[in-house]
Copies of this chain bind each other. A is one copy, B any other.
Amino acid sequence: MRQKKDYEPKNAISLWRKEGIKKLVVELEKSYETQAGINHVDGLNIPTPESVKEIIDSFFKLIFPGFVGDEPVISPSIEYYAGSIIERLCDRLAEQITRSLRYQCVLDNCEDCDCTWKAEQITEKVLEALPETRRMLKLDVQAAYDGDPAAKSLDEIILCYPFIKAITVHRIAHVLYLEQVPLLPRMMGEWAHSVTGIDIHPGASIGESFFIDHGTGVVIGETTEIGNNVKIYQGVTLGALSFSKDERGRMIRGTKRHPTLMDNVTVYANATILGGKTVIGKNAVIGGSTWITASVEEGTVVSHAKPELLFRKNNE
């Protein structure tokens, strides 16, 4: 019987460690060539997840000061607080937008545009939109308070509701999407998806006073249009019904594939609404776990016709 020793890599060095690793490195180098397309060796500088995270953090500090970070924010120094965050955010954001634009330029063989300059313009646009973004987000926070009896205060909503993270990131990413910035807005949306379980494509157009309760599993597709005062619960999908294909059988990209929700619509948990021609009329209420693939008239309440359940005694 051998004694159980602690793990000792030095004694355990096998022939493979000496020769195998060398061989593997060569194999991998070959793989980077033959299986190209999933590596960026000698590639462009593309946006990095770390920068995306830093950019989002800075936006949160500017939009909800005093709610994030360990330091209290006080009015005599608010100018320096906001100013220093904006200065740094400008650099970071402009750099990541530049990377994103240049990435697309190379794909498109575009040679005569100045990505750096364009990125600077877009950065300004996004930052100048901040006061308006704050106005929109305040309405969203209020909608959450009005829509959830479990909410005790506006502050609780900002501190505790995953929806706030998702909608804040979305309202910024959507501006970048409209400016046709590739990669970066999707990366921002996926950061929010990862921490909240709410998957909103930056292309979706979302009106004022929006609210998603709980949120896990919500999917809102690229061409979705949402009016004002819309409320959505966990697990709701606003998705595509089927995909059009061109004469060569390839999917057609860029058409309206996702539904439209008019003002004051409520969609309860786990409902699925599909299709680019599906319009849910004003004030409609879509019941939980329903499956909707056609338009619903204004003011209609849609629910399961009957539970259709089978009850039997256990051990029968």
Question: Is the Cβ of A7 less than 8 Å from the Cβ of B105?
Answer: no
Chain B residues near A314 (CB-CB < 8 A) = 283-285, 299-301
Contact, CB under 8 Å: A7 / B153 = no
Given the complex, which residues of B lie within 8 Å of A6, measured CB to CB?
45
Give the distance in Å from the alpha carbon of A312 to the alpha carbon of B214 in the complex: 27
Q: Interface digits, A101-137 against B, CB 8 Å rule (1 contact, 0 not)?
A: 0110101000110111101100010011011001101
Please state if B301 and A311 are interface contacts (CB–CB under 8 Å).
Answer: yes
From 1 to 58 in chain A, residues with beta carbon under 8 angstroms from any chain B beta carbon are 1-2, 4-9, 11-12, 14, 16-17, 20-22, 24-25, 27-32, 35, 37-43, 45-51
A167 → chain B, closest Cβ, in Å? Answer: 12
Query: Which residues from B are CB-within-8-Å of A4?
Result: 102, 105, 115
**How many interface residues does A have (CB within 8 Å)?**
165
Inter-subunit contact A305/B309 (CB<8 Å): yes
Inter-chain contact A289/B272, CB cutoff 8 Å:
yes
Chain A, range 259-316, C-beta contacts under 8 Å to B? 269-270, 272, 274, 283-285, 287-293, 296-297, 299-316
CA distance A67 to B38 in the complex (A): 8
If A1-B111, A216-B216 touch, whether A65 touches B90 (CB-CB below 8 Å) is: no
- Tell whether A183 is near chain B: CB-to-CB under 8 Å: yes
Whether the Cβ atoms of A309 and B285 lie closer than 8 Å is: no
Could you pull out 20 A-B pairs where Cβ atoms are within 8 angstroms?
A4-B115, A7-B116, A14-B124, A24-B128, A25-B79, A25-B86, A31-B131, A42-B75, A46-B159, A152-B182, A160-B186, A162-B194, A214-B219, A235-B235, A235-B270, A272-B288, A292-B309, A302-B311, A303-B309, A308-B308
7 closest Cβ contacts across the A-B interface? A40-B66, A31-B131, A160-B186, A7-B98, A299-B314, A149-B251, A305-B310
